[in-house]
Structure 1
Amino acid sequence: MTLSSSAHWGTFEVDLGPGGELVAARPHADDPNASPAIGNVVTGHRHRSRVLRPAVRRGWLDDGPGPSERRGSPEETYVEVGWDTALDLLAGELSRVVDGFGNCAVYGGSYGWSSAGRLHHAQSQLHRFLNRIGGYTRSVSDYSRGASLVLLPHLIGKAATTEFRSRPVSWPQIAEHTDLLVTFGGLRRSNTWVVPGGHDRHIGTAAASRVGGTTRVVSLTAQRDDAYDGLDAEWVGVMPGTDTAVILALIHVLDADGLADDAFLATHTVGAEKVRAYVRGESDGIPKTPEWAAAISRTPAERIRRLAHEMVAGRTLVNVAYALQRGERGEQPVWAALTLAAFLGQIGLPGGGLTHGYGSMGDYGVGVAPVPLPTFPQGTNPVADLIPCARIADLLLRPGEQFAFDGQVLTYPEIRLAYWAGGNPFHHHQDLGRLRSAFARLDTFVVHETHWTPTARHADIVLPVASALERDDLAAGAGDSRLRTMPKITDPPGEAREELWIYGELGRRLGADVDEGLTSAQWLRQLYEEWRELPSTPAGTPPFDEFWAAGGVDLPQHRYQDAVFAAFRRDPVTHPLQTPSGRIELWSATIDGFGLDDLAGHAQWREPDQWWGSPSAVTYDLHLLANQPSHRLHSQLDMGAASQATKVAGREPIRLHPDDAAARGLADGDLALVRSAQGSLLAGVRITDALLPGVVQMHTGAWFDPSAPEVADCVNGNVNVLTRDLPTSTLTQSNTGAHVLVSVTRHDGPTPPVRAYEPPAFS
């Protein structure tokens, strides 16, 4: 039997054997750009690391709730219990915390990418439950675009910021109108396989591949293979963390050579004169010339100067990948790129101006406006306390302390219980040693999981949940062509349950109606039928039974219409932006008025601590890039066949330039010890000339394995033992995990086994 299912990395087909077991998974025949992550499905489905029964950490069960350094210890054991026992324990602990400390003492984490389904969306399910019992401390923003989401509304307004995400310049527009696409941070093909909710087919990747025949692409990044082959991009090397200097030098050339669009700057922006004074060196004595930028970035000055002239010779689109704002002063490259696009004067023209996200997400630039989709209602959270999501460790380590965020002064509440579902902070977060110390401060940590992930191994109560293949659901992503059924493929293993059932049972113990007496099958039908009645849903959309039998229904494909920037360009007076001036704010009086020590009113080059020219580079002499993997989504199913096929020496690989490898006596396939000021890991060596000398690269998402601390903090190559848990700035408070300074040496000592994928010991 063959059935279809979906994930955030797309739809795929699965084959069942005679006994109903999963035997194969493969892409749809008409999706030539399918993700290789499909190769993890079969091996991950019934892997020995599946959570089969409710489990309670022995120390928590014996000693009761409270801080514990034993959380996450490889020696810690778990006790499997029945569902009634587990739910009674958890309901009692939730009551204790809420009654004694208030709902603000509960943190509802669940930043994650588990099921792509519209109903069984782990974050929605958890937040609905917590809202029904009185609320929780929440997180805002995200790890991918945290700095940009806070910065851009100040510079271009909320509506235009939304347009950047939901209606950017489309790939078809680029192919038709754009002469030159200049991308900072590359255009990684593997990132285009991923869409929140998944896509019926990888239309974004297919559209991107057609651009190379009509548009010249220049990719400024530290990795040649950041832009995939179909684009035939010219690679211009830029050392990590120095893109802002290169962009400022491009603006300097436009200004010095009389190439800036002065008319556009005068009518559509504020602050251009302050920027001119800065790049000329009038305000700080340092002209931001190409030679100045070359000394910082190692990008040839002549190429910077020539590129500026090429950008004014035709229709130019400037792209900034999300990764650039995931570093120290992550606002600056985005702000500088907006300023560059304004000096070019092409914002609002078809195929021109600025975009932020190409090469970062698969639905970016598909040219189709998102339509409303069936959504499981979360309700309203009555608790006001919040944190930027990347400040979870600060929240747990610094209760009662004040912190700045987007012009406000907030206070970290004291968290007693953290509840996580569908996510893995040991993938997303930085400085795992610090994160472990933070989780040790909790009274109780609750996790819903399909597998014994590193997060589950740090929990006090672990509840086994059904995977996406083990329950019925619906799937669709933004700009998708089809709302798809996700039929149940197999039964859950052991005693795993749907989360809707878990929250319903917990709610009944706590006197809260969470599931409203409906089963998941009834909820699916209700969500679909409510969606079918929306004015935006096409007339004639079939009822639920017909939809389910057909395997899905086509979604409206509304092409982008006249957008915010186009109208603003035509007439900035009648179509102003939602900024204090109504214009693009190259200099923001609002941000300047916040009086922040680490951010001024316009884009600036400020030396980060983590770059090749810093004092730290004496000890840690290589600049490590940490980017998303190609053969798994984040950390999902790292034990799967496709992910394991990428390993070297049984660990996550680290790539080095031949010169750097030779200087350290490293050969392809060696085992290396990688250190930073935060921690250490083992990694397998891969040698490639696709990197700038002085730069090394690793993928995120290897499962954290602290089982041999005498050798390394992680023996499986989780890059976040190396990265720093510091904010981008006091304005945005986002994460800086995209790069860090490291040292790399060959590991010649005992080689411990990888135990990351083993379940814990039970007692």
Structure 2
Amino acid sequence: MKDLDRKPITNSHWGTYWVEAENGEPTGLTPFEHDPDPSPIGPGMVETRRDALRITRPAVRRSWLEGGPGTAGARRGSEEFVEVTWDEVNRLIADELQRVRRDHGNKAIYAGSYGWASAGRFHHAQGQLKRFLNLVGGFTSSVNTYSFAAAEVIVPHVLGDFRSFLDRMTSWESIAEHCDLFVAFGGVPLKNGQITQGGTGAHVQKAGVLAAHAGGTRFVNVSPLRADFLDRVEADWLALRPSTDAALMLGLAHVILSEGLHDRAFLERYTVGFERFAAYLTGETDGVAKTADWAAAITDIPADTIRDLARRMARGRTMISVAYALTRQDHGEQPYWAAITLAAMLGQIGLQGGGVGFGYSAMNHTGLNRRQVPYAAFPQGQNPVPDYIPVARVTDMLENPGGTVEYNGRTLTYPDVRLVWWAGGNPFHHHQDLNRLRRAWAKPETIIVNEWCWNSLARHADIVLPCTTPLERDDIAMSPKDPFITMMDKVGEPVGEARDDHEIFRGIAAAMGVEEAFTEGRSAGEWLRWLYDLSRQAAARGRIELPTLDELRREGWHRVPAPEKQTVMMEAFRADPEARPLKTPSGRIEIFSETIAGFGYDDCPGHPAWIEPLEWLGKAGAGDALHMISNQPKTKLHSQIDHGSLSRADRVAGREPVLMNPEDAAKRGLSEGQIVRLFNARGATLAGLRISDEIRPGVIQIATGAWYEPAGETCVHGNPNTLTPDKGTSKLAQGPIAHSCLVEVEAAGDVPPVTIGVAPPVIVRGG
């Protein structure tokens, strides 16, 4: 740790903290004084830094080291590793990359690396990996996210963009002042709002909800989980059947249309295709009117409740919020399209406190009133390989080299991947049907990961490169999503022989003769100054003055002033749609999309629609099956620091807890605290039972993030993705559908011990 006249500070996706240190070692974290609602997750960075699961030296799977590429296969996840030197591992990787490039071409390298590794602007594992691979010929890449892939594809067809709207959601201040009714499909789960990608300064979601409540806003929580809304605001709870949100929206739209409550002038000026949608809504095109009674039969929400809600929405200023989770269900494109259409019918898009919003409290920056500063990022260069896959189709790719997949109007061909490289993420957390993924994972000849602890990804790799944690390197958190810029001070030396990702790739680049191209002659510190200087210049062009790097380092943090006016999504478009058209073919909101209709997909028509999900409680033959919701955890970010004390304290007998309604527990003879087995045809997982009437009957909830520990087809630790189906949302987006999942639950028989907290065997040469 360099000498400072202040206490060290750090930033993470879940918050900013002052660092307590003794003798050059971090000992604790104190929440940032400007954060009114700090997350308890952060301290896990200190307590796990030197625990038994820390990876301290490069390690290679024994069979791969002795037999070479293609020999590990099914041993991944079970065989011991051998520690090697950095010089040896750099040579092994350089030789393997040259072999794959020579024999199969660069498209045989898949750099998935879907990750949230660090909030730092420079030490971004994914960016470092992609820059390196681009310099040696490129790689097959992925597009979209597990978070909201269906929205990423559908919303640009409807509104012309998606990502820019995420950064310009109508602010909580505008909602508090102007919104009468806030209808939240998927709720506003404050546990998710603990995080923002790229760093968090002050948490605003709880304060935003409470300020709106104090200002008179009424809330409606449309979710199977009461906990998806803060109790204190006394939201109306509509506990619909999971995966039926689009049907409910259509029922609301039918009431608004049939009772003449829609804004004809808005629809005429700002949208195209409403007549085509209305013909579907009234049943003119398919003989089925999407009435409140029709929606009630699907959603299990009473028809009178649906009619009453529609009328309330039309009476005042209404914000329709759709959670990211709505996209992670079968046909997840439809809820977002239907929500935009419903908001257009009300005619309040672009007005203060009304319209539509995407994912309030999905991350902390949603609704955070802030200036957009185009900070510089570590340059990745250009990928010479044009091939890509939708991110959630990785198992399909590994299983079907040469196969094809329909995606957003294109037919993509899966490459024959021989080498997979992951840095900064964990597919054994994000992906669905993990038993199927594990089988497909045995097919590549080599799997390389950059990782700091022995999580499930590291255990399923061939070559493991130990990387540093944020407290072991200097960086800066500066994200357009947050007004705070924060130094990320190096507080302790790397544990063992761990290296930061830039140094890892510099060493391999040297072995391949591209070190100068990779570093451009700059050290990590020089890169950091270069990035910050470019960012200051970009900010100055927007009339925002940032401190010099030396000034920032002296103070530790800086806050960019808030804009003078409240942010209102699509305000400029509403004010003048001719001068500020959307980036759609028509320049307007496309309630009917000729482009999508032209694709001819049987699972995504040219307008919002109800399409029966693969699995749901209304499915013929579902019987007494339960619908499993596998949502985001409250004690960690995805699977990060799952081995920390905060996460462990939330367990039941060492397993992830599963929430069940008392009716369902009684029907199965189950009791509180019991270890239960969740299962279906795809696999099983063990969990600890918690019983509550805060979840609707017929539904169970278990958070994602428990490190995958398979015993046969069963995860003994409680990972729900052993159960979730691995199918695309539709041919349009091919997103994940984790939330459309039926399971059975029974008392567990023999319960194997959880051993994921013990590092795998590692052979120390000469030891």
**TM-score of the aligned structures, taking structure 2 as reference length:** 0.96
CA distance in 2, matches of 1:715, 1:385: 37
State how 1:436-447 maps to structure 2 within 5 Å: 436-447=438-449
Equivalent position amino acid for 1:339 in 2: T
Aligned with residue 266 of structure 1, among 268, 284, 289: 268
Unaligned regions of 5+ residues in structure 1, if any?
A: none
Aligned with residue 154 of structure 1, among 133, 153, 157: 157
User: Structure 1 residues 177 and 102 mapped into 2: Cα distance closer, same or farther (>3 Å)?
Assistant: same
Alignment of 1:77 with 2:80, yes or no, is yes
CA distance in 1, matches of 2:363, 2:115: 16
2:283–2:289 contact (8 Å) kept in structure 1: yes
1:54–1:464 contact (8 Å) kept in structure 2: yes
User: Structure 1 residues 330 and 67 mapped into 2: Cα distance closer, same or farther (>3 Å)?
Assistant: farther
Aligned with residue 586 of structure 1, among 588, 591, 601: 591
Residue in 2 aligned with 1:649? 653
Aligned with residue 144 of structure 1, among 142, 147, 160: 147
CA distance in 2, matches of 1:133, 1:587: 44
CA distance in 1, matches of 2:279, 2:639: 46
Residue in 2 aligned with 1:567? 572
Aligned with residue 484 of structure 1, among 476, 483, 486: 486
Residues 359-390 of structure 1: per-residue CA shift (max 9 Å, x gap): 31110111213212242111111111111111
Alignment of 1:44 with 2:48, yes or no, is yes
User: Structure 1 residues 689 and 563 mapped into 2: Cα distance closer, same or farther (>3 Å)?
Assistant: closer
1:626–1:739 contact (8 Å) kept in structure 2: no
Equivalent position amino acid for 2:179 in 1: T
User: Structure 1 residues 50 and 560 mapped into 2: Cα distance closer, same or farther (>3 Å)?
Assistant: farther
Equivalent position amino acid for 1:99 in 2: R
Question: Is the deviation greater in 731-740 or in 589-598?
Answer: 731-740
Q: Secondary structure at the match of 1:36?
A: coil
User: Structure 1 residues 414 and 684 mapped into 2: Cα distance closer, same or farther (>3 Å)?
Assistant: same
1:346–1:352 contact (8 Å) kept in structure 2: yes
1:193–1:205 contact (8 Å) kept in structure 2: no
Q: Shift of the alpha carbon at 1:293?
A: 1.1
Question: Is the deviation greater in 340-349 or in 241-250?
Answer: 340-349
Aligned with residue 698 of structure 1, among 695, 699, 702: 702
Residues 588-634 of structure 1: per-residue CA shift (max 9 Å, x gap): 1110110111111111111112100113523x610000100011111
State how 1:398-547 maps to structure 2 within 5 Å: 398-512=400-514, 513-534=517-538, 535-536=540-541, 541-547=546-552
CA distance in 1, matches of 2:587, 2:640: 44
Alignment of 1:731 with 2:702, yes or no, is no
State how 1:555-634 maps to structure 2 within 5 Å: 555-558=560-563, 565-615=570-620, 617-618=622-623, 621-634=625-638
CA distance in 1, matches of 2:615, 2:48: 37
Residues 47-79 of structure 1: per-residue CA shift (max 9 Å, x gap): 2111111000011112211164424333x1111
Alignment of 1:111 with 2:75, yes or no, is no
Equivalent position amino acid for 1:24 in 2: G
Residue in 2 aligned with 1:343? 345
CA distance in 2, matches of 1:131, 1:522: 22
User: Structure 1 residues 307 and 291 mapped into 2: Cα distance closer, same or farther (>3 Å)?
Assistant: same
Residue in 2 aligned with 1:25? 29
Q: Shift of the alpha carbon at 1:728?
A: 0.3
Residue in 2 aligned with 1:11? 16
Residue in 1 aligned with 2:555? 550
CA distance in 2, matches of 1:85, 1:479: 41
Residue in 1 aligned with 2:99? 96
Equivalent position amino acid for 1:44 in 2: T
Aligned length: 754
1:44–1:639 contact (8 Å) kept in structure 2: yes
Identity fraction in percent: 47
CA distance in 1, matches of 2:107, 2:51: 37
Alignment of 1:759 with 2:764, yes or no, is no
Q: Shift of the alpha carbon at 1:648?
A: 0.9
State how 1:703-722 maps to structure 2 within 5 Å: 703-706=707-710, 708-709=711-712, 713-722=714-723
1:368–1:559 contact (8 Å) kept in structure 2: no
1:431–1:725 contact (8 Å) kept in structure 2: yes
1:166–1:369 contact (8 Å) kept in structure 2: no
Q: Secondary structure at the match of 2:702?
A: strand
User: Structure 1 residues 191 and 564 mapped into 2: Cα distance closer, same or farther (>3 Å)?
Assistant: closer
2:665–2:691 contact (8 Å) kept in structure 1: yes
2:686–2:716 contact (8 Å) kept in structure 1: yes
Equivalent position amino acid for 2:465 in 1: L
Q: Shift of the alpha carbon at 1:42?
A: 3.0
User: Structure 1 residues 2 and 234 mapped into 2: Cα distance closer, same or farther (>3 Å)?
Assistant: same
Q: Shift of the alpha carbon at 1:195?
A: 0.3
CA distance in 1, matches of 2:742, 2:564: 44
Residue in 1 aligned with 2:131? 128
CA distance in 2, matches of 1:430, 1:644: 23
Residue in 2 aligned with 1:285? 287
State how 1:288-327 maps to structure 2 within 5 Å: 288-327=290-329
CA distance in 1, matches of 2:372, 2:160: 20
CA distance in 2, matches of 1:37, 1:539: 32
Residues 676-734 of structure 1: per-residue CA shift (max 9 Å, x gap): 2211010000111111100100100000011x33xx61000011111111000000011
User: Structure 1 residues 574 and 545 mapped into 2: Cα distance closer, same or farther (>3 Å)?
Assistant: closer
Question: Is the deviation greater in 121-130 or in 477-486?
Answer: 477-486
Alignment of 1:184 with 2:185, yes or no, is yes
Residues 476-516 of structure 1: per-residue CA shift (max 9 Å, x gap): 33342221100111111111111111111111111212122
Q: Shift of the alpha carbon at 1:233?
A: 1.4
1:369–1:559 contact (8 Å) kept in structure 2: no
Equivalent position amino acid for 1:714 in 2: C
Question: Is the deviation greater in 296-305 or in 275-284?
Answer: 275-284
1:71–1:459 contact (8 Å) kept in structure 2: no
Equivalent position amino acid for 2:608 in 1: A
Q: Secondary structure at the match of 2:74?
A: coil
Q: Shift of the alpha carbon at 1:641?
A: 0.7
1:626–1:697 contact (8 Å) kept in structure 2: yes
CA distance in 2, matches of 1:581, 1:30: 45
Question: Is the deviation greater in 490-499 or in 31-40?
Answer: 31-40
Equivalent position amino acid for 1:387 in 2: I
Q: Secondary structure at the match of 1:265?
A: helix
Q: Shift of the alpha carbon at 1:291?
A: 1.4
Question: Is the deviation greater in 566-575 or in 640-649?
Answer: 566-575
Unaligned regions of 5+ residues in structure 2, if any?
A: 1-5
Question: Is the deviation greater in 517-526 or in 136-145?
Answer: 517-526
2:181–2:219 contact (8 Å) kept in structure 1: yes
Q: Secondary structure at the match of 1:147?
A: helix
Q: Secondary structure at the match of 2:671?
A: coil
Equivalent position amino acid for 1:181 in 2: F
Q: Shift of the alpha carbon at 1:259?
A: 1.1
CA distance in 2, matches of 1:12, 1:162: 28
Residue in 2 aligned with 1:55? 59
Residues 28-51 of structure 1: per-residue CA shift (max 9 Å, x gap): 344231112124233211121111
CA distance in 2, matches of 1:610, 1:298: 16
Equivalent position amino acid for 2:282 in 1: R
CA distance in 2, matches of 1:539, 1:606: 48
2:169–2:568 contact (8 Å) kept in structure 1: no
Q: Shift of the alpha carbon at 1:295?
A: 1.2
Residue in 2 aligned with 1:680? 684
Residue in 2 aligned with 1:199? 200
